A and B are shown apart, each in its own frame.
Chain A
Amino acid sequence: SAVISQKPSRDICQRGTSLTIQCQVDSQVTMMFWYRQQPGQSLTLIATANQGSEATYESGFVIDKFPISRPNLTFSTLTVSNMSPEDSSIYLCSATLLTAENPPYEQYFGPGTRLTVT
Chain B
Amino acid sequence: RKEVEQDPGPFNVPEGATVAFNCTYSNSASQSFFWYRQDCRKEPKLLMSVYSSGNEDGRFTAQLNRASQYISLLIRDSKLSDSATYLCVVNGANQAGTALIFGKGTTLSVSS
Interface residues of A (CB under 8 A from B): 1, 30-31, 33, 41-45, 48, 58, 92, 94, 96, 100-101, 103-112, 114
Contact = CB atoms under 8 A, between A and B. Distances in A.
Q: In the A-B complex, list the 6 residue pairs whose CB atoms are closest, starting with the nearest.
A: A31-B97, A104-B32, A109-B43, A104-B49, A103-B32, A42-B102
A33 B99 contact: yes
Contacts, number: 65
B44 A43 contact: yes
A101 B96 contact: yes
Interface string B14-44: 0000000000000000011110000001111
B105 A42 contact: yes
17 contacts: A1-B46, A31-B97, A42-B87, A42-B104, A43-B44, A43-B100, A48-B97, A92-B44, A100-B96, A103-B94, A104-B50, A105-B32, A106-B34, A109-B45, A110-B43, A111-B43, A112-B43
Contact of B97 (A42, A43, A105, A112): A105
Given A42-B104, A104-B32, A109 B97 contact: no
Contacts of A114: 41
Interface in B58-112: 87, 91, 94, 96-105
Contacts of A101: 96
Contacts of A110: 43
B33 A31 contact: no
A83 to B, nearest CB: 21
Contacts of B98: 105
